[in-house]
Structure 1
Amino acid sequence: MKNALTLLLLIIFSESVAAQSTIEVGKKAPEITMTKADGTSFALSTLKGKIVLIDFWATWCAPCVEEQPELKTFYDTYSEQVKNNKFEILGISLDKNKESWQKAIDRFNIQWIQISDLKFWKSPVAKLYEIDELPFNIIIDGQGTILAKNLHGKDLEEFLKKTLIQN
């Protein structure tokens, strides 16, 4: 009986914690400040006014690496919105090796903003954004409100097309 009660309390507690998630559609995305590959500091809030695809990835993550050419296609497809300050991709690497990270940026010719604290899964941002697997992404509007999360492939393409045409 005591074990059953303990289990029930654990389930209720875990459901309560899950219900308090900060990374949900309609909520504000938490601020992120990290270092770009060139060593300069960058803050998510500097992208205010833009639709932003925040892409959490790492060079050691095969699905993440496979997704980079697709992200490049999206970036190139919506380059007019990029030029007009309406759209941006922000890549956040959960790598721990700067050389590997930089080589991937170069290899994929990534033109969008890339940041990392090189702390792997111990990154405070990974915890803040409740990341437990990669790749992971969220899309925010110009006010920082989460519009969608964890869209990939055709779903991401359709969402971007619909959202960027409206803006």
Structure 2
Amino acid sequence: MISLKENLGKVTIVDFWASWCGPCRVENPNVVAIYNEFHSKGLNIVGVSLDKDAAKWKEAIAKDKLTWIHVSHLKFWEEPIAAQYGVQSIPATFILDASGNIVARDLRGEELKAKIKELLSK
């Protein structure tokens, strides 16, 4: 069991993705770079996968060098965490503050980096 509350940083990205999602995999190097730059300043990431094949999911985590916490029920679009967040498509990102409040969503690339930088400088 992993608790989101226990894994909140000053800023936390909840990243919904899957090994089979092309746009997710394209965005992963950017997310890795942001994590590497800002983790020591208080950024955490929790990856939530909509995979259904554990081997492919774990292989993608290793190949893309996703070193943060990952969770999945391996239920594809029936992923309960995705349902809780109302995720209809992936990649989907939710940026949470230290209290767990959603402060931004679905940012990518430079927009994501700029928002993380802004939030961590507060």
TM-score normalised per structure 1 = 0.70
1:49 deviation in Å?
A: 5.1
Match of 1:68 in 2: 28
CA deviation digits over 1:18-66, x for unaligned, max 9?
A: xxxxxxxxxxxxxxxxxxxxxxx21101124531011000011100011
**RMSD of the alignment, in Å?**
1.1
CA deviation digits over 1:105-140, x for unaligned, max 9?
A: 111121111111100001122211111110001001
Q: After the TM superposition, which parts of structure 1 deviate over 4 Å for at least 4 consecutive aligned residues?
A: none
Match of 1:78 in 2: 38
C-alpha distance in structure 2 between counterparts of 1:66 and 1:89, whole Å:
17
Secondary structure (helix, strand or coil) at the match of 1:42 reads coil
C-alpha distance in structure 2 between counterparts of 1:101 and 1:47, whole Å:
21
Mind listing any 5+ residue stretches in structure 1 that lack a counterpart? 1-40
Match of 2:53 in 1: 97
Larger radius of gyration: 1
In the alignment of these two chains, the number of paired residues is 122
Percent identity (aligned): 36
Alignment of 1:1-167 (within 5 A): 41-48=1-8, 50-81=10-41, 86-166=42-122
Matched residue type, 2:107: L
Give the number of the structure with larger relative contact order, counting CA–CA contacts within 8 Å between residues 6 or more apart.
2
1:90 deviation in Å?
A: 0.7
